[in-house]
Each structure stands twice: as C-alpha cells, then as structure tokens.
Amino acid sequence: MVRCAVATAGAQGGHRMNAHIQLANVTFFQRLGWSAVDEPEIYAGLVHQRMTIALPDPDEGAALVRTLGLGISAKGP
C-alpha cells in the first residue's frame, strides 16, 4: 500500500512525499527508501518521526502503479 501511494503520487507529477510515522514503523519505511527528517515529535498525541521520500517520475510511477495493480511484486518506492 505504501509503495502504491508513492507510485501514485509520482504518476500524478509530485516530487516528494512527507509523512508522520509512528516510531514502531520507522524501520519498515526506511526499508522502503524513506528517510527520517529531524527528531521525533508529538503528532496527533503520539510520538512520530517525520519522514520523506523522493517520488518516481510520472512515467515510472504510472508503470509501477500498473504493475502493483496486477498483483506482481515490484521493487521500488
């Protein structure tokens, strides 16, 4: 689902995605290519880490969305 969201945002022409990630999920997001920004902070009453990832270009993002839509395992954002 995270890869699909990143690919979709890239397919729509975005350049970067930012998110507030609960600390227990930081390693998972890092494995998907996300990077931590600054120090953890309180967000929605819980400690979160702000994270960011560069989005694929629109053609690459659209291709990845199609691949993921077919249920094929895809390496990428």
Asked if pLDDT for residue 71 goes beyond 90, the answer is no
Cα 15 to Cα 27: distance, rounded to the nearest angstrom = 23
Question: Is 2-69 CATH 2.115.10.20?
Answer: no
Q: What digits encode the pLDDT tens for the residues 35-65?
A: 999 999 999 999 999 999 999 999 999 999 9
Is the whole-model pTM more than 0.85?
no
Domain boundaries, the chain: 2-69
What residues contact 11, with CB distance under 8 A and at least 6 apart?
Answer: 56, 58, 61, 62, 64, 65
Tell me the average pLDDT of the chain: 92
